Structure 1
Amino acid sequence: MDGNRRYARMHSKEVQEGHAEGYVALRRMLEICMRLGIRCVSAYSFSIENFKRSPKEVETLMKLAEEKLLELCEHGELLETYGVRLNVIGKTELLPERVQAAVKKVEGLTRHNDRAILNLCMPYTSRDEMTTAVQAAVQHSLEVGDENSVITEKDVDAHLMTTVSGSPPLDILIRTSGVRRLSDYLLWQCSENTQIQFSSAYWPDFGLWDFLPILLDFQRKMCVQHF
């Protein structure tokens, strides 16, 4: 969900206003996805690397995350209407305690929803996810007493955060704001059979008419593969 800060500068707004409008865009796009029958959405909300930003911006982002998570708890009609289970994926122990408490609350409230999944990746990097998966695979091998086992690709995949959360394979990866790089996001998951799409729209502006051509292109390519 890239482009919040540039969107804010373009509209002569404070950076926090750009991030706030980014959350509005996330809610909008989640509902569009649910109505279109897309049953798993993952959003890159905060990178581990983002902790290197100014203390003021990091604090603003943490406050906004806590506020929006609690808002989902109190006014969670969207998640309930579509039966969405919310997972916060990443190194959550790096989050302030108040944000961790909000994470646990919203995850608990949606735990029994089973029709769709929303993964909020925060604080997340793909390198950390893969490292954690390898460590978990090794630990599992030791726990079952198989010290000489070889850790395979299948073992690592089974311990990825997205796999543990019950997410299906990744079909489409979208990067907004015109930037053409993946920025350490879902690198393992997009390495096979994933269509990567770049949009010039800043994330707060991203909407249905930006999304539909991406879906149609995905459908067209899937049809070509089957013939």
Structure 2
Amino acid sequence: MSWIRETELSLLERLTANILKAGPMPRHVAFIMDGNRRYAEKRHVERQEGHTQGFDKLAETLRWCLNLGIHEVTVYAFSIENFKRSKEEVDGLMELARQKFGRVLMEHENLEKHGVCIRVLGDLTLLPLDLQQLIANAVVSTKAHNKCYLNVCFAYTSRHEIANAVKEMAWGVEQGFIKSSDVSEVLLSQCLYSSNSPNPDLLIRTSGEVRLSDFLLWQTSYSCLAFQSVLWPEYSFWNLCEAILQYQLSYRSLQKAQELHRKDEVRQQVEADRTCVAELLQHRGNGKPLDAQSQQTALLNYTARREERVQCFLGALQHKRDTFFSDLNSQTVVAKT
């Protein structure tokens, strides 16, 4: 099965899509693709077949999203917790991943046609080296595509991601890129695996489970959450439309909450900068209070220097991550030759 299925919507589906698109549409949708194992039990087939059907449904769903004008999709493909499953099932999931990531080069023209950029988010060092290399190949070979983005969370949990972001900031301080006073909620967000993506507008979980299972906990604080009872391999275009309609009904309240959060982030950063400037002036000053204009100038200068440090750090962090993938990809090329 391809990464994206070449299917067109029916007349009724196109009509429904056009009606939905007259309202506010999510730019970024995240899926917890739950129910593959229960689907296998229901159909009396092997669990591996359930997971294979789940990937096929992802390819179909991605095409639906493109038809609806949704240009970014994030999926929970493999949790770090999944390593606790039976060795047979884990090995089967690893083999399925090898097959699907190994197909990327074969399908490069199709992915390029649709402009699909594949990103893989998670701690890839937990995976077998050959799978890491296949993933790196998929990421590097589609990096220049920019029409739509598929983020595959593999060897991922949100708590692991947040802990890693804290480690990245600590690395930035140790390397002298940033100061400890530069650490903030905004900077932590920029150190997450998902830093190159906007937060999801809509998160959908299938199979009837009403929990997030450690998926995008930070990023979905102000997202619409849709819990649907259908098993993932049985997911339909109409299920997706139902979730989008739920998002549209919640749109105003979500926008209001997001705007309040953005204002609060700005306020917290200004207060933190003012505190740092006051401490610096007290340490360097001669005891004479500065007038308001001098204090404002000092604040602006400090903010500019902080922003310069942060951008330098984020550039170094992105380079480190890009190098990780390019080095793995280079190993793959050398092995083939």
Instruction: Name the structure 2 match of 1:217.
Output: 246
Instruction: Name the structure 2 match of 1:174.
Output: 204
Mapped pair 1:105 → 2:134? no
Cα deviation for residue 77 of structure 1 reads 4.6
Q: Which has the larger radius of gyration?
A: 2
Q: Alignment RMSD, CA only?
A: 1.7
**Aligned partners of 1:31 and 1:78 also within 8 Å:** no
**Aligned partners of 2:224 and 2:250 also within 8 Å:** no
User: Which range moved further: 130-139 or 144-153?
Assistant: 144-153
**Aligned partners of 1:44 and 1:121 also within 8 Å:** yes
By percentage of residues, which structure has more helix? 2
Alignment partners' CA distance in 2, 1:43 and 1:121? 6
SS of the residue aligned with 1:46? strand
Residues 80-159 of structure 1 mapped to structure 2, 5 A cutoff: 80-144=112-176, 146-159=178-191
Quick one: percent identity of the two aligned structures? 39
Residues 7-26 of structure 1 mapped to structure 2, 5 A cutoff: 7-26=39-58
TM-score (norm 1): 0.93
Structure 1 residues 111, 226: closer, same or farther in 2, change over 3 A?
Answer: closer
TM-score (norm 2): 0.64
Instruction: Name the structure 1 match of 2:219.
Output: 189
Instruction: Name the structure 1 match of 2:237.
Output: 208
Alignment partners' CA distance in 1, 2:177 and 2:149? 34
**Aligned partners of 1:47 and 1:123 also within 8 Å:** yes
1:202 maps to a residue whose letter is L
1:90 maps to a residue whose letter is G
Cα deviation for residue 220 of structure 1 reads 2.7
Cα deviation for residue 52 of structure 1 reads 0.7
Aligned residues: 224
Cα deviation for residue 81 of structure 1 reads 2.3
Alignment partners' CA distance in 1, 2:164 and 2:255? 36
Alignment partners' CA distance in 2, 1:209 and 1:91? 34
SS of the residue aligned with 1:187? coil
Structure 1 residues 151, 3: closer, same or farther in 2, change over 3 A?
Answer: same
Q: Deviations over 1:181-227 (max 9, x none)?
A: 10000000011x20001010111011201100111221232257679
Alignment partners' CA distance in 1, 2:130 and 2:167? 28
Instruction: Name the structure 2 match of 1:64.
Output: 96
**Aligned partners of 2:48 and 2:92 also within 8 Å:** yes
1:20 maps to a residue whose letter is T
SS of the residue aligned with 1:45? strand
Q: Deviations over 1:5-34 (max 9, x none)?
A: 000000000000000000000000011111
